[in-house]
Amino acid sequence: MRRATRCGRGRPVWCIWGENAETGALMNPLDERRGQVTVASTIELEMLGWAEPVTVTLRWSSDTPYAVGLLFPGDLEVCWLVARDLLAAGLLGPCGLGDISVFPDLYDPGFAEFVLSSPDGSVGLRMPVHRLAAFLDATWRHVPAGAEAQPS
Domain boundaries, the chain: 2-142
Tell me if 112 sits within 8 A of 130, measured CB to CB. Answer: no
Residue 138 dihedral angles phi and psi, to the nearest 5°: -65, -35
How would you classify residue 133: left for phi > 0, otherwise alpha for psi between -120 and 50, otherwise beta? alpha
**Domain 2-142, what fold?**
Transcriptional Co-activator pc4; Chain A (2.30.31)
Report, as ranges of residue numbers, the positions in the chain whose pLDDT lies below 70. Answer: 1-35, 150-152
Q: What is the pLDDT of residue 90?
A: 95
Residue type, 117: S
Q: Model confidence over 50-90: pLDDT tens digits? A: 889 999 999 999 888 999 999 998 888 889 999 999 999 99
* pLDDT at 76 (0 to 100): 80
Beta strands in 25-85 (DSSP E): 26-27, 38-47, 54-61, 67-72, 78-83
**What pLDDT is recorded for position 11?**
32
